Amino acid sequence: MQPHLFTPGPVSIPHEIRQRGAAPLVSHRSEPFFSLLEEISARLKRLLRAKEPPVLFPGSGTGALEALAANLIAPGDRVISFSCGAFGDRFREIAGRRGAEVIPADIPWGRGATPDDVKDALARSPDPAVVLFTHNETSTGAVTPLGECIAALPHDGPLVLVDAVSSLGALPCFPEEWGIDGLASCSQKGLLTPPGIAVAALSPRGWARAGSRPCPSYYFDLSLHRRFLEKERPQNPYTPPVTLLCSLAEALRFLEDFGFGKWFRLKARTAETFETACKAMGLPFFVEDPAFRSPAVTAVKVPGGKGKDMKRALEALGVDAAAGQGKEPSLLRVAHYSPGGWPELSLIAGSIYGAGKMCGLDLRPDFSEAAWNCWTREGE
């Protein structure tokens, strides 16, 4: 039996999008592929409200982070790394391997970074070359208000690199409006596509920096990718994941036809409804301040540190969710990327209730009414 998938990536993907990737192969040096890439670029530009299309290449989100480091960080660069979870720590490690002088700015796990955190870090370490942010911290379910944090940086200050791996497509993310110089993401979360496509978007300042010095990697050389993207017909310097790109085109069609803005509101409402159900059951949240709670992934604190037990109980019921990552054994993480709706919300809330019973937790059973009221509060 195929389990119901609520993990924060890869996410459950509509049949039509998966099926598109099963079409017969085309060459990546042929007109059908060029048109496909052109369509994807146009739709991604509208999603990002950007003038220039992002670079797409075979990789995971981690690969996109590496590409930012390879092109926009030089050995010895002073890099302030804001981290509020396992993925912020990973971005930091990637910058460190690039030879950066990493200055850690640790935000307590369970919230995102704030403009005050930015000001504090700059007061301690003025004039960094680069700052690193994580937009949506998958390991804790915390969002960083990126626009506000970047506004707290000096104008024309450090390059701003952002891990948008688990935010792009699921919550508003507008790199050009917010002043992001390098954005990294991937296919398998908010973009509703199987894993295997890395996404990197640079600002004009980012491109200038990337072009001003040699890239230590051929594979991740974004300027090389850009030259191929700007050929008469857009393409890639080496073989792209053709079938996954077919799925991505279909997913972007689905999201744009739905309406990007309307989709973001649906994700927020889905997360709120799920939170309402959990709260009614008596389950607390790892991210205590609702302002930082992610519309993409909710981390519930399971009483008695039983995160892994809950995950296993859910598995026995046929549901895949994620336990905590690293130092947080009490967490159960549930993602909201997939289309879903009230039936799916009922499925996951009811399954958590049942799994809680299996783990000996005393959860309140009357969660459905509060959840239904939240779900139907808005008119959409």
Residues in contact with its own copies by the rule CB under 8 A = 2-3, 5, 7, 9-13, 18-19, 21-30, 32, 57-63, 65-66, 90, 93-94, 97-99, 186, 188, 194-198, 214-220, 237-244, 315, 320, 322
Query: Which residue number, 165 or 363, has a Cβ lying nearer to its own copies?
Result: 165
Shortest gap between Cβ of 27 and its own copies (angstroms)?
4
What secondary structure does DSSP assign to 203-226, as a single string?
-HHHHHHHHTS--S-STT-HHHHH
Distances in Å between the alpha carbon of 376 and those of 269, 272, 329, 364, 372? 9, 11, 34, 22, 6
Q: How far is the CB of 107 from its own copies (least distance, A)?
A: 21
Q: How far is the CB of 58 from its own copies (least distance, A)?
A: 5
Nearer to its own copies, 62 or 125 (CB): 62
CA 183 to CA 72: how far, in whole Å?
11
| For its own copies, the closer CB: 40 or 153 | 40
Q: Helices (DSSP H) in 259-341: which residue ranges?
A: 260-281, 307-317
Strands 78-83 and 159-163, by their bridges, are unpaired
Least Å distance between CB 337 and its own copies?
11
| 26, 167 contact by CB (below 8 A) | no
CA distances from 97 to 60, 63, 94, 202, 319 (A): 18, 14, 5, 21, 37
Q: How far is 251 from 237, CA to CA, in rounded Å?
A: 24
Beta sheet of 78-83, edge-to-edge order: 55-58, 197-202, 182-186, 159-163, 130-134, 78-83, 101-106
Give yes or no for a contact between 32 and 25, defined as CB atoms under 8 angstroms apart. Answer: no
Residue number, 129 or 248, with CB nearest to its own copies = 248
Q: How far is CA 246 from CA 18, 68, 197, in A?
A: 9, 25, 11
Q: Both tokens of residue 206? A: 């980012």
Residue closer to its own copies (CB basis): 25 or 123 = 25
**Which lies closer to its own copies via its Cβ, residue 193 or residue 203?**
193
Q: In the complex, what is the shortest distance from the CB of residue 119 to its own copies, in angstroms, rounded to a whole number?
A: 30
Nearer to its own copies, 189 or 293 (CB): 189
C-beta of 67 vs 266, nearer to its own copies: 67
Rounded to a whole number of angstroms, the minimum distance from the CB of residue 376 to its own copies is 29
Least Cβ distance, residue 131 to its own copies (angstroms): 19
Residue 355 CB, shortest distance to its own copies, in Å, is 15
- Rank residues 99 and 211 by Cβ distance to its own copies and give the closer one: 99
Evaluate whether 142 touches 110 at the Cβ level (below 8 Å): yes
What does the block give as tokens for 267? 């994700």
Helix (H) or strand (E) holding 48: helix 31-48
Nearest one of 142, 133, 184 to 160, comparing CA atoms: 133
Of 29 and 46, the one with the shorter C-beta distance to its own copies is 29
Backbone angles phi, psi at 21, to 5 degrees: -75, -5
Residues in the chain: 380
